[in-house]
Amino acid sequence: MVSPDSSSIRPFKLKVPEPDLEDLRTRLRLTRWPDKEAVTNWSQGVPLTALQELCEYWQDRYDWRRCEALLNSYPQSTTTVDGVEIYFLHIRSKYDNALPLLITHGWPGSVLEFRHIIDMLVDPEAHDGTAEDAFHLVVPALPGYAFSGKPKQTGWDHQRTAHAWGELMQRLGYAKSGWVAQGGDWGAFVVASLGQQRPKGLKSVHFNSIFFDPKKEVQTPIRDKKGEERAMHFDRRRDGGFRGYSLQQSTRPQTIGYGLSDSPVAQAAWIYEKFRDWSHHDGDVETVFSKDEMLDTIMLYWLSNSGASSARYYWECGSATTAIPVEIPVGKNTYSKMKALVYGGNGAVTIQDRPVPAISSPTDAIIKVTKTTICGTDLHIRKGDVATCQPGTILGHEGVGIVHEAGPSVSSFKKGDKVLISCISSCATCEFCRKGMYSHCTSGGWILGNKIDGTQAEYVRVPHADSSLHAVPDGADEAALVMVSDIFPTGLECGVLNSKVQPGGTVVVVGAGPVGLAAIITAQMYSPSKVIAIDTDNARLEVAKKLGATDGLVSGGDVVEQVMKLTDGKGCDSVIEAVGIPATFDLCQKLLAVGGVLANVGVHGTKVDLQLQDLWDKNISITTRLVDTVTTPMLLKLVQSGKLQPSQLITHRFKLSDMENAYKTFGEAAKHDALKVIIEVD
């Protein structure tokens, strides 16, 4: 029998009884699932199909014994401090002079979260380091977390945990040689408390979660910013509706604990969601963490039944603030921040502080945005029509800026170059790019402001910079060029070229919004005899006529008859749908001449009816596509020569700080007579 205050270090080996694993599989098999969520994204929590897929894998294919063997491959021990058993890994380097390093996890972490760096820290020479970089590692589990004991009395907060860590390091013999400590999340609070308590032998502390900023005069910045964006992903999400878990665990941890203790699916959902929300990926968390890695962590919480006890740590540390100074050397990651417009789900967009993005691939460039805009597609995202864009994403896919940093493989641009940011990112080498279908690039396409953070920010990371950026000549009208990021290539490629506008032909554009107006302007490059604009807004029709439309018709009533009258009863050779609703698509089908082409440009959030009974014998073609931006270089030359004047579409200008009002104005365009808005970032 070990006494409650025994200072002995006891070896530990993990062996989960097989009945416990069979019980888990039974519970998974008997799960009563809720109804499917009412949205097409993660804004209501973990989607039903995603969790079912994970739990099916957990039940049938996941191998706990693999994880168990991994943990048992490390030296594990326990010791008792203040009546609570502390479980820890203790991995000594082969280098006797290695520096002892204590590392502390947070929630929903565990000792497993350090699995990928343990070997690098204890044997740096095997990983391109030197013997001087070696550490002896001590990795304890927080009280109430697997496989430490669960405090039966209150008071086990970060400060008491820090006291226990100091005692642990003394028992391991490191008080005399000296040691350092590092922590993240709750581990950062513990390590900060260690710095305040200064247990014997502690030389310095470091933490990677941000809770305060030292005075400027004592800061020593680390200039290498690689990895900043990943490390600060939690900070991005903090103010975007992702704090419900913290409020629950800080106020009623026992209540949530009943579900976490009884249902493996509840425990999985509670943690799986955090893996996805707090990691840096382009929409698929499994590009960062495999199912096995996520389930390994979930298993530690399930097998140790620590859902409630780990949540209680939030309750214990709920007022984790102190003014006690830390008088030993402190290292902490501080990150350059920027202002950005962030999609929060359920129609919300807000200005937030975000970390300045960092180069993550040799072909990336970081652009300091000077001007950007809002697109109709951004409004579709706000409405929830674009399932690939998740809450927490910085919106925007158009802009002009200055190269702030270029990856080592970028050859066409250097720091300081002025560039136009294409709405389509393309590698230029994949199967689709070789066909000129850049919108389907296997590692690009429409990803900015959709699958990755976009341009409505002070900085943006542009993948495949050499083929996704265009040089901007000195003295160019940057605001005008923003229009060439998307709406002019879209109007030209998806509308004018797809509808085969020909000299002497007749064209009708349904929808005189920005893209429709861009189609009207660029259609004139091909000398049609008529360009008819149809819209519900008389003001926009007047603009269309000023920009070259021969006729402007108000939608509704006898508009079909009016078009037939203007075309001698034939209909139009080229019909461009630039709205994106079923009613306008249906109207367009009625406006076609024999042999005509209907080019769908509008983004439809729902299905439409195809009137084949009226179309099949008229040799009608219907086209739809994503913009590939193959015409962007030509459009840039036309703007520079003065033959194309996109600035005619700009009606409003806002500062980045006023982006929320910019969205209101653009979203109520008819009310404000708005076409395109320019966002001034510089």
Closest to 651 in 3D by CA, of 678, 680, 619, 622:
678
**Is residue 473 located within the same domain as residue 349?**
yes
Residue 53 binned pLDDT confidence (cut-offs 50, 70, 90):
very high
Say what the pLDDT of residue 239 is: 42
**Is residue 474 located within the same domain as residue 342?**
yes
Q: Are 148 and 84 in contact (CB under 8 A)?
A: yes
Closest to 421 in 3D by CA, of 488, 494, 473, 472:
472
The DSSP result for 631-647, as a single string, is THHHHHHHHHHTS--GG
Question: Higher-confidence residue: 153 or 220?
Answer: 153
Distance CA 413, CA 402 (A): 10
**Is residue 513 located within the same domain as residue 605?**
yes
> 603-634 pLDDT, tens per residue?
776 899 998 888 888 999 999 999 999 999 99
Say what the pLDDT of residue 158 is: 93
**Is residue 501 located within the same domain as residue 475?**
no
- Which of 428, 454, 482 corresponds to the end of one domain? 482
Say what the pLDDT of residue 103 is: 98
Per the structure, the complete domain to which residue 526 belongs is given by 492-626
- Name 231's Cβ contacts closer than 8 Å, sequence gap at least 6: 208, 333, 335, 355
Residue 110 lies in a domain: no
Q: Two tokens at 628?
A: 């590939």
DSSP 8-state secondary structure symbol assigned to residue 394: B
**Is residue 468 located within the same domain as residue 580?**
no
**How many other CB atoms are there within 10 angstroms of residue 57's CB atom?**
14
How many domains, in total, are found in the chain? 2
Looking up tokens 């994970």 gives 54
> 295-353 pLDDT, tens per residue?
999 999 999 999 999 999 999 986 555 555 666 666 655 557 899 999 988 888 999 98
Say what the pLDDT of residue 409 is: 86
Say what the pLDDT of residue 216 is: 46
**Is residue 428 located within the same domain as residue 522?**
no
- Name 286's Cβ contacts closer than 8 Å, sequence gap at least 6: none
- Which of 461, 482, 503 corresponds to the end of one domain? 482
The DSSP result for 464-531, as a single string, is SHHHHEEE--TT--HHHHHTTTTHHHIIIIIIIITTT--TT-EEEEE--SHHHHHHHHHHGGG--SEE
**Is residue 457 located within the same domain as residue 518?**
no
Q: Are 376 and 428 in contact (CB under 8 A)?
A: no
Say what the pLDDT of residue 473 is: 87
Residue 164 has pLDDT above 90, yes or no: yes
State mean pLDDT over 525-551. 97
Distance CA 448, CA 256 (A): 37
Say what the pLDDT of residue 43 is: 85
Say what the pLDDT of residue 277 is: 85
Residue 223 has pLDDT above 60, yes or no: no
Residue 244 lies in a domain: no
Percentage of residues of the chain with pLDDT beyond 70: 91
Residue 352 lies in a domain: yes
Residue 87 host element (H or E): strand 84-91
Residue 366 has pLDDT above 60, yes or no: yes
Residue 83: left (phi > 0), alpha (psi -120 to 50), or beta?
Answer: left
Q: Two tokens at 326?
A: 């830390």
Say what the pLDDT of residue 237 is: 47
322 phi and psi, to 5 degrees? -160, 150
Q: Rounded to two decimals, what is the model's pTM?
A: 0.59
Residue 459 lies in a domain: yes
Helices (H), 278-316: 291-303, 307-316
Q: At 403, is the secondary structure helix, strand, or coil?
A: strand
Residue 282 binned pLDDT confidence (cut-offs 50, 70, 90):
low
Beta strand segments in 211-356, E: 330-332, 337-345, 348-355
State mean pLDDT over 267-286. 87
Question: Higher-confidence residue: 219 or 182?
Answer: 182
- Which residues share a beta bridge with 343? 349
**How many other CB atoms are there within 10 angstroms of residue 233's CB atom?**
18
Residue 231 binned pLDDT confidence (cut-offs 50, 70, 90):
very low
Q: At 205, is the secondary structure helix, strand, or coil?
A: strand
- Which of 428, 450, 482 corresponds to the end of one domain? 482
**Is residue 343 located within the same domain as residue 387?**
yes
**How many other CB atoms are there within 10 angstroms of residue 314's CB atom?**
19
Question: Higher-confidence residue: 156 or 128?
Answer: 156
**Is residue 512 located within the same domain as residue 619?**
yes
Closest to 266 in 3D by CA, of 311, 217, 333:
311
- Name 304's Cβ contacts closer than 8 Å, sequence gap at least 6: 145, 146, 147
Residue 191 lies in a domain: no
Q: Two tokens at 438?
A: 């850049």
**Is residue 359 located within the same domain as residue 474?**
yes
State mean pLDDT over 443-456. 95
State mean pLDDT over 146-158. 96
Residue 325 lies in a domain: no
Lowest model confidence (mean pLDDT) among 161-170, 213-222, 237-246: 213-222
Say what the pLDDT of residue 333 is: 58
Residue 563 binned pLDDT confidence (cut-offs 50, 70, 90):
very high
Say what the pLDDT of residue 326 is: 67
Q: Two tokens at 602?
A: 């509008």
Residue 2 has pLDDT above 50, yes or no: no
> 4-37 pLDDT, tens per residue?
557 899 999 999 999 999 999 999 999 999 999 9
What's 528's domain CATH number?
A: 3.40.50.720
- Mean of all residue pLDDT scores within the chain: 91
**Is residue 468 located within the same domain as residue 355?**
yes
Say what the pLDDT of residue 240 is: 45
Question: Higher-confidence residue: 66 or 283?
Answer: 66
Radius of gyration of the chain (CA): 30
Tell me the CA distances in angstroms from 253 to 153, 265, 307, one per residue in order: 15, 18, 9
Residue 270 has pLDDT above 60, yes or no: yes
* Pairing outcome for strands 99-104 and 76-81: unpaired
- Name 680's Cβ contacts closer than 8 Å, sequence gap at least 6: 370, 371, 653, 654, 655, 656
Lowest model confidence (mean pLDDT) among 166-180, 440-454, 595-609, 623-637: 595-609
Q: Are 449 and 396 in contact (CB under 8 A)?
A: yes
Q: At 406, is the secondary structure helix, strand, or coil?
A: strand
Residue 575 has pLDDT above 80, yes or no: yes
Distance CA 632, CA 645 (A): 14
State mean pLDDT over 561-566. 98
What's 396's domain CATH number?
A: 3.90.180.10
Say what the pLDDT of residue 386 is: 86
Say what the pLDDT of residue 681 is: 94
95 phi and psi, to 5 degrees? -90, 115
Beta strand segments in 125-235, E: 135-140, 179-183, 202-207
Say what the pLDDT of residue 346 is: 82
Say what the pLDDT of residue 207 is: 83
Say what the pLDDT of residue 447 is: 95
Say what the pLDDT of residue 319 is: 53
Residue 181 lies in a domain: no
**Is residue 563 located within the same domain as residue 607?**
yes
Tell me the CA distances in angstroms from 162 to 168, 194, 517, 583, one per residue in order: 10, 5, 65, 66
Residue 3 binned pLDDT confidence (cut-offs 50, 70, 90):
low
Burial class of residue 111 in the structure, from the number of CB atoms within 10 Å of its CB (0-12 exposed, 13-18 middle, 19+ buried): buried
Q: What is the 3-state secondary structure (H, E, C) of 346-384?
A: CCEEEEEEEECCCCCCCCCEEEEEEEEECCHHHHHHHHC
Residue 360 binned pLDDT confidence (cut-offs 50, 70, 90):
confident
> 577-603 pLDDT, tens per residue?
999 999 999 999 999 999 999 999 987
Closest to 8 in 3D by CA, of 181, 147, 156, 167:
167
Residue 617 lies in a domain: yes
